[in-house]
Amino acid sequence: MRWREAGSRGFLASVGALRREAAAVGERDEEERCELLCYWLDPG
């Protein structure tokens, strides 16, 4: 799953949005999980 693949962008964008919202409400564990998931799926 890579950002360059159009079919992956919606999911990756959703995980990125969840990460930002988790950070906004102080959910550091969830923020880190989302960050790691995005990195594992698209490390570039």
pLDDT of 7 > 90? The answer is: no
The CA distance from 12 to 25, in Å, is 20
Please count the other Cβ atoms lying within 10 Å of the Cβ belonging to residue 39: 10
What pTM does this model have? Answer: 0.81
Whether 31 is in a domain gets the answer yes
Average pLDDT, the chain: 91
Residues of the domain holding 10: 6-41
Whether 1 is in a domain gets the answer no
Closest by CA to 14, choosing from 29, 28, 1, is 1
pLDDT for res 24? 98
pLDDT for res 6? 87
Whether 33 is in a domain gets the answer yes
pLDDT for res 44? 72
Whether 35 is in a domain gets the answer yes
| Average pLDDT for 5-31 | 94
Interval 21-36: pLDDT, tens: 999 999 999 999 999 9
Per the structure, how many domains does the chain have? 1
